[in-house]
Amino acid sequence: MAKNSGTELLASDTDHLTSLQQTADGGYILGGTSSSGISGDKTDSSRGGRDYWVIKVDSNGNKLWDKTFGGNSYDEFGSIHQTSDGGYILGGYSASDSSGDKATSSKGGADYWVVKIDSSGTKQWDKTFGGSDDEYFSSLQQTSDRGYILGGGSSSGKSGDKTSSSRGDYDYWIIKLCTPQTYYQDSDGDGYGNLNVKVQACTQPEHYVADSTDCNDQDNTVYPGAPELCDNKDNNCNGVIDEGCALTKLTINDVAVYEGNSGKKKLKFRVHLNGTTSNTVTVDYTTKNNTAKAPGDYIATSGTLTFTSGTHNQRITVLINGDRHFEPDQTFKVVLSNPVNATLKDSIGIGTILNDDSLCPHYTTDLPAGDEQLTAKVGSHPAALVTPNPASSVVNIRLSGFNGSTAIQLISLQGKVLRTFRVQGNTSQQFNISDIPSGTYFLAVTDQKGYKQTVKLVVVH
């Protein structure tokens, strides 16, 4: 018989109250041993012999529920405590084998038997601890690490769960239990784990963490709260890509070079960062064939450019193969991709390989080719001299060695003819280019006999 606040809780046989505690809701949890079947306040049948009997009452002693836990032999209740999750931990000793509510058989004689239940009395797990002789449980308590400490007496020697020999007859025997936690695999080492790869463990395994909120466990720049890197990724796992990134832009210029008759010429593309950022900016680049083909006309190249804080310009150098074959001017591309901490304004630079071999066999023009500006040498062979270059509003073209009616075409890097002028013989002409957008163009000069000279013109406003 158990009493609380004047209320009697009765069953048909013997019922002994052993432990009680006030609960967080102001009520009480009662625990003891019962050999009764279903009767009185007891709603569960006996499991065999004596069983644990747990009763939950409200602040006025009114029963809310009761639960019975036991095996096929005697089970003596010892102690009960409410746990941090709102459930309860029960402890006592048991001689039952695996039966009823007991998952594990006796290790010898009577053993410690611990049962964990939730806030409504439903069993979550049970554990048996013992040696080759008898163990008599006395008390248990939850610890600050969410584990449990058990205490009682044991007459067993070193056996079963008991790691120390008996000191005489009955000895104190203390057991520390852990509460396994869920840990999540952290493949990229950023401190945040993959929700779909998890283990239960008492101690944290290597390469596992307690946080399961990583949205990409293969990239250590992606995790909750990470800084946005302007790399087309949702770095901080908030569902938005590159929010708040600096509006720095990368551009690449178009360039041209005369191929020469032998050896290799350098064609240098400038990649410009048009803003200021405290973060390191990177961008990948690679060459792509157009009418010019690698490796015959140029040497293919690829890599990554890095702009440290305060750096605004980098160069990409492509080697051009010289030859003595007459052929049309040719082009290839340098393509930028995968910018980090910047965006791309112009992602493609056009490289033009200018032919400097004459169609006519009686002479060959071998013109000098600078990396930044191309002009023709005025001499005995047809040539065009363009000044100033770069130009902003007016450009002067001086012709030498051309015959008869001569056409001058202004051509874009994509090969589109934008404007055509006609002059007679060798002369100097001035042309207005103030309405031409800034950029790189070509002036193609062709006389009535088919002699041709091409000169690059840079327009800057």
What's the chain look like in SS3?
Answer: CEEECCEEECCCCCEEEEEEEECCCCCEEEEEEECCCCECCECCCCCCCCEEEEEEECCCCCEEEEEEECCCCCEEEEEEEECCCCCEEEEEEECCCCECCECCCCCCCCEEEEEEECCCCCEEEEEEECCCCCEEEEEEEECCCCCEEEEEEECCCCECCECCCCCCCCEEEEEEECCCEEEEECCCCCCCCECCCEEEECCCCCCEECCCECCCCCCCCCCCCCCCCCCCCCCCCCCCCCCCCCCCEEEECCEEEECCCCCEEEEEEEEEECCCCCCCEEEEEEEEECCCCCCCCECCCEEEEEECCCCCEEEEEEEEECCCCCCCCEEEEEEEEEEECCEECCCEEEEEEECCCCCCCCCCCCCCCCCCCCCCCCCCCCEEEEECCCECCEEEEEEECCCCEEEEEEEECCCCEEEEEEEECCCEEEEECCCCCCEEEEEEEECCCCCEEEEEEEECC
What does each C-alpha distance from 42 to 30, 45, 54, 67 come to in angstroms? Answer: 13, 8, 10, 8
* CATH fold match for the domains 249-354 and 383-459: yes
Q: Span 436-450, mean pLDDT?
A: 86
Query: Candidates 3.40.50.2300, 2.60.40.2550, 3.40.50.150, 3.40.50.300; correct CATH number of 383-459?
Result: 2.60.40.2550
Identity of residue 195: L
* Count of all residues that appear for the chain in the document: 461
Distance between CA 306 and CA 280 in Å, rounded? 7
Compute the mean pLDDT over every residue in the chain, rounded to the nearest whole number: 86
Edge-to-edge strand ranges of the sheet holding 281-289: 255-258, 348-354, 330-340, 281-289, 302-307
Output the pLDDT for position 7: 55
As a whole number, mean pLDDT of residues 187-195 equals 96
Model pLDDT, residue 329: 78
Q: Say how many C-beta atoms besides its own lie within 10 A of residue 440's C-beta.
A: 19
Residue 419 has pLDDT above 60, yes or no: yes
Across 203-212, average pLDDT: 94
What Cα–Cα distance (Å) separates residue 305 from each residue in 155, 248, 256, 283, 287?
75, 15, 21, 5, 14
The pLDDT of residue 452 is: 79
- Provide the β-strand partners of residue 439: 459
What does the pLDDT read at residue 8? 57
Q: What is the reported pLDDT for 1?
A: 35
Tokens at 269, concatenated: 């593309």
Confidence of residue 374 (pLDDT cuts 50, 70, 90): very low
State the pLDDT confidence band at 103, using cuts at 50, 70 and 90: very high
Domain ranges across the chain: 2-179, 182-245, 249-354, 383-459
Looking at residue 332, its pLDDT comes to 94
**Residue 9's pLDDT band (cuts 50, 70, 90):** low
Q: In this predicted structure, which of 47-61, 249-263, 366-380 has the lowest mean pLDDT?
A: 366-380
Contacts of 440 (CB under 8 A, 6+ apart): 253, 254, 255, 256, 413, 456, 457, 458, 459
Local confidence band at 360 (pLDDT 50, 70, 90 cut-offs): very low
| pTM of structure | 0.47
User: Would you state the pLDDT for residue 283?
Assistant: 95
State pLDDT tens for residues 122-169. 999 999 999 999 999 999 999 988 899 999 999 999 999 999 998 988
Q: What is the pLDDT of residue 364?
A: 33
C-beta separation of 333 from 350 below 8 A: yes
What pLDDT is stored for residue 380 in this prediction? 45
- Gyration radius (Cα) of the chain, Å: 44
pLDDT band with cut points at 50, 70 and 90 for residue 4? very low
Q: Which CATH number fits domain 249-354: 3.30.390.50, 3.40.50.720, 2.60.40.2030, 1.10.3720.10?
A: 2.60.40.2030
- Averaged pLDDT, 436-444: 88
Q: In this predicted model, what pLDDT tens digit does every residue of 229-248 receive, in sequence order?
A: 777 789 999 998 877 666 68
Tell me how crowded residue 169 is: count the other CB atoms within 10 A of its CB. Answer: 8
195-199, 304-308, 344-348: segment of lowest average pLDDT = 344-348
